[in-house]
Copies of this chain bind each other. A is one copy, B any other.
Amino acid sequence: MDSGAGTKPGRPRGFDAEAALERATRVFWEQGYDGASLADLTAAMGITRTSMYAAFGNKDELFRLALERYTQDGTEYAADALGRPTAREVAETFLHGAALASTRPGYPPGCLGVQGSLAAGPTARNARDALIAWRNEGVTHLRDRFQRAVDEGDLPATATPVDLARYVMTVANGIAVQAVSGASRAELERVATAAMKAWPL
């Protein structure tokens, strides 16, 4: 059994891995998987290639970890939205959250989950597939939440949760694309508001 001492043998890491991952996330967010070279990434992270490989594995793994981090740190609005009491509030919070998150000052416009790797050649297939799964998980979570709303009578029994979920996710994805296109926060909030006019209740 290893001792309870927190110190590990060997030379201690000379950089903050969490901070480095945050920098890498921004590079992927801004330039996409294909467009972010190891030179770009390590320069932004302030470490050498060898340190990156030792700490994170390889480029694919780094992207996977960046997405994981982004899920916790860049898209909290999603978890927030799912916890709202009514389906309408869920959709509202999700869409306005997407508008805010896609236009956060000091951060790249748009959404890593959309522009990180949308279309891709063979080398970026893993990243693309990871994002496809990520977006589809988002639809699933929304669908489950809306199904609950139907069960609870919060949504009319005629509502189809999966269609509502896909609609909300589609608008959120579109908001990310529009943010990259230069749309402002105010403009995208009006888009979110407009989208809510379609809400059944």
Contact = CB atoms under 8 A, between A and B. Distances in A.
Interface of A: 29-32, 34-37, 40, 108, 110, 114-116, 118-124, 132, 135-136, 160, 163-164, 166-167, 169-178, 180-183, 187-188, 190-191, 194-198, 200
Contact of A181 (B37, B136, B182, B194): B136
16 contacts: A31-B121, A32-B120, A35-B120, A35-B121, A35-B123, A110-B118, A115-B118, A118-B118, A119-B180, A136-B182, A163-B191, A163-B194, A169-B174, A170-B191, A173-B177, A173-B178
The A interface is mostly helix, strand or loop, or mixed, namely helix
Contacts of A124: 34-35
B180 A167 contact: no
B195 A178 contact: no
A181 B121 contact: no
Contact of A164 (B30, B115, B174, B194): B194
Given A34-B35, A119-B35, A198-B194, A114 B167 contact: no
A41 B38 CA distance: 25
Contacts of A36: 121
Contacts of A188: 170
